Amino acid sequence: MTGRAHRYTRGGVGMRLGPKLSVIALVYVIEGFPMGVYQLWSVFFRRHEVSLAALGLLSGLSIAWSAKVLWSPLVDRFGERRQWIAGSLGVMAACLVTIAGSDPRAIGLALGMALALFCAASATQDVAIDAYTIGLVEPGEEGLANSVRITAYRVGMSLLAGTGLFFLPARVGWPATFLVAAALTAAMGASVFACPRVAVPPESRRALWQPLGHWLGRPGALPVLCFVLLYRVGDRAMGPMVLPFWVDRGFDEAEIGVVSGTLGMLATVGGAAAGGALVSLAGIAPGLWWLGALALGSNLGYAAVAVHPEWGRAGMYGAAIAEHFCSGLASAAFLSYLMRICQKEHAAVQYALLTALYALAGSLASLPSGALAEGMGYAGYFALTSAYALPAFACLRGASAWIGGEPARSASPRARRPDSPPR
């Protein structure tokens, strides 16, 4: 990697591909950690006898990752992106301290506000980190960069927050577990300033919504938005019920952490590496077709295990590893697509819109997840989620037009206008 000649020179930073990927790895470990804490909540509340229906409603707090598009222009307009990342982490640390001192059986105003604010701060951090990374990555580097992104994100979410934090409740209790998470979150906020500064392009400072309007005015915007909305909805819809399923099957926190954390991370890393390599060799559009189909099929593995409890631990482990591996495959292609169609100078708002659509579908689908799982059983619900994203494939041909034969370009006197059709 380090021997390649790619360089990044914006904002006074000169960086070869190898060091650039190291920076990307650090910021995505940081981005993944709060999502791992978010997933810990489902075990925390289920262990304290909160109903599946209530857990499904709590998963609706993920609407913050859709609403983030409303304030994403501020990340471009004010300050610099490292400041937004560090500030968001500070807010999340304070929320975790509040959660540590709350009664999970009675979700009152203070606990509810802490949970909601944590999600909003995490979503804001995502906007800043994604925009920061798009500023670093050059056209043609997306496949490799996204393999690193997915791997690092999973290290933060699954290994550090997953395996690490899941071992703590049995040893130090839940309040201390959340205090440890708060301390780690604060330390990550301080570490952000070890990353190089990436200048925010002047175009981002001058306008808030106009660039988004021009970008959405390009021909073919509707199939792009529909595709982004639906492509990963099956995975997102299944997510809120997976860990409660493990709890109800009698697994303790430590084993859940090992499987969903360590083993899941290794499987996702393998999938992301394979997906990134395929995208680099075959292109983004073929990767979206084949890897997305595999990801949908992996949901059926959990459905089969729910139908056959006699498969025991081997079946549960196999379903988890297959789901994580296929998720890594599809994510490598999907993230490459999102990065390719964004303009660097307006990355915060454009990428935020795309990921907000992706999150919106997941949030809406997850709201009734608990009630559906209670009514249909885990097997029926997991099978249902495997069909959720099928309509996305009907939009894929139109959505692929924005990839074109050339990488997306930043607006410049010699580049095509952002509202012109792709060639």
Can you spell out the DSSP letters for 334-348?
HHHHHHHHS-GGGHH
Length reported for the chain: 423
Quote the DSSP letter at residue 311. Answer: G
Quote the DSSP letter at residue 363. Answer: H
Give the model's pLDDT for residue 35: 87
Q: Which of 359, 368, 379, 372 is nearest to 319 (CA)?
A: 379
Give the Cα separation of 414 and 278 in Å (integer). Answer: 32
Give the Cα separation of 57 and 370 in Å (integer). Answer: 8
Beta carbons of 37 and 96 less than 8 angstroms apart: yes
Extents of the domains making up the chain: 13-402
The topology (CATH level 3) of 13-402 is Growth Hormone; Chain: A; (1.20.1250)
Give the model's pLDDT for residue 345: 65
Beta carbons of 379 and 319 less than 8 angstroms apart: no
Give the Cα separation of 246 and 239 in Å (integer). Answer: 12
Give the model's pLDDT for residue 202: 66
Give the model's pLDDT for residue 13: 45
Q: Which of 338, 265, 335, 329 is nearest to 293 (CA)?
A: 329
pTM value is: 0.65
Residue-level pLDDT, tens digit, the chain, 423 residues: 333 333 333 433 456 767 788 888 899 999 999 988 887 888 888 888 778 887 787 777 878 877 887 887 788 778 788 899 999 999 999 999 999 888 887 777 888 889 999 999 999 999 899 888 877 777 666 667 777 887 888 788 877 887 788 888 888 999 999 999 999 999 999 988 888 787 776 665 555 566 667 777 778 888 888 888 888 888 888 888 888 899 889 888 888 888 877 788 788 888 888 888 888 888 888 888 888 888 888 889 999 999 999 998 999 999 999 998 998 888 888 888 887 887 766 666 777 778 778 778 877 888 888 889 989 999 999 999 988 878 888 888 888 888 864 343 333 333 332 333 232
Amino acid identity at 395: C
How far from 138 is each of 86, 134, 141, 143, CA to CA, in Å? 25, 8, 6, 11
Give the Cα separation of 332 and 275 in Å (integer). Answer: 5
Cα-Cα-Cα-Cα dihedral sign, residues 2, 33, 83, 350: positive
